[in-house]
Amino acid sequence: MTERNIRMGLIGAGRIGIVHAGSINDTKGVDLVWICDPMVENAERLAAQYGAKASADPLEMINSGEVDAILIASPTSTHVELLEAGIDAGLHVLCEKPIDLDIARVDALRAKANDVKTKVALGFNRRFHPQFEGIKQRVKAGEIGKLEQLVIISRDPAPASQAYIAVSGGIFRDMTIHDFDMARYFVPEIVEVTAVGANVFSDYIEEEGDYDSVTVTLRGSQGELVTIVNSRHSSYGYDQRLEAFGSEGMLLAKNVTPTTVEHYSAEHTEQREPYLNFFLELYAASYRRELEFFIEAVRTGDMQSPGFEDGRAALILANAANESARTGKSVKVSL
Ligand SMILES: NC(=O)c1ccc[n+]([C@@H]2O[C@H](COP(=O)([O-])OP(=O)(O)OC[C@H]3O[C@@H](n4cnc5c(N)ncnc54)[C@H](O)[C@@H]3O)[C@@H](O)[C@H]2O)c1
């Protein structure tokens, strides 16, 4: 007997929702059957593209009995409520990061999220980027001996608008959150956080009481050190690098250009095209792989994706980094 396709509903037809709709459509064994967004014309436009139903109300879909799984790609402030509704309806849930900006709200849902037969996955897509995933596998295989230091560099091409910064929850919870998860992908047990924040180029980010540039040092339980470097701008484009240094060598992921073609002339050598523009371009493949892993988990019960606890741990690290940057002291954490 052939297994029937998993019926998936998408919540949120904005920037990242559009990407996920394409991934669901491209993935074998899953049908995109319903798209919800209070801006119903956005839901309808996307639904028409993929032959799905549209609604303004995600709860109508969640309680319809017509979906097996949902993907939550609505604003962060809606995640906890929709996660809970999905869990209560017995659905599998892939939820965009972060779970919430408030750890108390995350903790209130924790027991329920961890006590379900269905799967709850978190959208830390960078774990599925071929370069970072490849390095992780090679570290695990012992290729560089014992991991001693990890360096994560993450700089955006340009800062988001002041309106976005105002409600973002601050750089640690909005931007560094991905890097905290990347750190835990390699070093799951983090015990101490030290962070420094600065305002070096943006007046409006400073006006919002936020930093535009930060560095974070994490200490792992086995003595590993992780350094994260973030900036809200980068004159040469999206800067995403990772270095894993161990007792027997180093693995290094550099930035990605559209092709490997280099130009040589009297003025310069080894000149390449600009880096891939931003996250939608660089991480396109990782959003698809994230979805494939989630569908595989739903089918087999074998959960390889980051889950609720990973989302909670990243938020705890973000809060600790914020405290450290504000107080000038290192902060001990227990994840
Ligand atoms: N993993 C990643 O790389 C990544 C990238 C971008 C955004 N995100 C996350 O995805 C989420 C959405 O971000 P975005 O940039 O797509 O935002 P967006 O503003 O572009 O889109 C959000 C959409 O959700 C809709 N919406 C609002 N309230 C809703 C509700 N209650 N139910 C259903 N839909 C609702 C809005 O009308 C809008 O169309 C955020 O949590 C963000 O942190 C993750």
CB 296 within 8 A of CB 121: no
pTM reported for the whole predicted model = 0.95
pLDDT value of position 2: 61
Is 156 in the same domain as 266? Answer: yes
| C-beta 249 within 6 A of ligand 1 | no
Question: Parallel, antiparallel, or unpaired: how do β-strands 249-253 and 225-231 relate?
Answer: unpaired
Written as tens digits, the pLDDT of the chain (335 aa) is 467 899 999 999 999 999 999 999 999 999 999 999 999 999 999 999 999 999 999 999 999 999 999 999 999 999 999 999 999 999 999 999 999 999 999 999 999 999 989 999 999 999 999 999 999 999 999 999 999 999 999 999 999 999 999 999 999 999 999 999 999 999 999 999 999 999 999 999 999 999 999 999 999 999 999 999 999 999 999 999 999 999 999 999 999 999 999 999 999 999 999 999 899 899 999 999 999 999 999 999 888 889 999 999 999 999 999 999 999 999 999 99
Output the CA 32–ligand 1 centroid distance in Å. 18
| C-beta 80 within 6 A of ligand 1 | no
Is 236 in the same domain as 112? Answer: no
Is 113 in the same domain as 169? Answer: no
Provide the CATH number for the domain around residue 186.
Answer: 3.30.360.10
Q: How far from chain centre, in Å, is Cα 137?
A: 19
| C-beta 254 within 6 A of ligand 1 | no
- 305 within some domain: no
CB 9 within 8 A of CB 36: yes
Output the CA 73–ligand 1 centroid distance in Å. 5
Q: How far is CA 326 from CA 90, 237, 270, in A?
A: 41, 29, 42
**Residue finishing a domain among 98, 118, 138:** 118
Beta carbons within 10 angstroms of residue 8's beta carbon: 29
- 29 within some domain: yes
Is 176 in the same domain as 110? Answer: no
pLDDT value of position 303: 80
Is 26 in the same domain as 137? Answer: no
Is 145 in the same domain as 279? Answer: yes
| C-beta 17 within 6 A of ligand 1 | yes
- 299 within some domain: no
- 292 within some domain: no
- 204 within some domain: yes
> How many Å from the N-terminal Cα to the C-terminal Cα in the chain?
44
Is 60 in the same domain as 136? Answer: no
- Tokens 């993907």 belong to residue: 71
What's the domain count of the chain?
2
| C-beta 86 within 6 A of ligand 1 | no
| C-beta 75 within 6 A of ligand 1 | yes
Query: Exposure pattern of 38-59 as b/e (b: 16+ CB <10 Å)?
Result: eebebbbebbeeeebbbbeebe
Is 148 in the same domain as 199? Answer: yes
Is 154 in the same domain as 88? Answer: no
Range of the domain at 237: 127-286+313-332
In angstroms, the CA 100 to CA 137 distance is 30
- Amino acid type, 88: D
The best mutation among 84, 96, 278 to test binding of ligand 1, ranked by most ligand atoms within 8 Å of the C-beta, falls on: 96
- 298 within some domain: no
Order the strands of the 331-332 sheet from edge to edge: 249-253, 239-246, 147-155, 225-231, 213-220, 190-198, 331-332
Q: How many CA atoms lie within 13 A of 297 on its CB side?
A: 22
Provide the CATH number for the domain around residue 42.
Answer: 3.40.50.720
The best mutation among 10, 15, 126 to test binding of ligand 1, ranked by most ligand atoms within 8 Å of the C-beta, falls on: 15
| C-beta 154 within 6 A of ligand 1 | no
Q: How far from chain centre, in Å, is Cα 246?
A: 26
- 77 within some domain: yes
| C-beta 46 within 6 A of ligand 1 | no
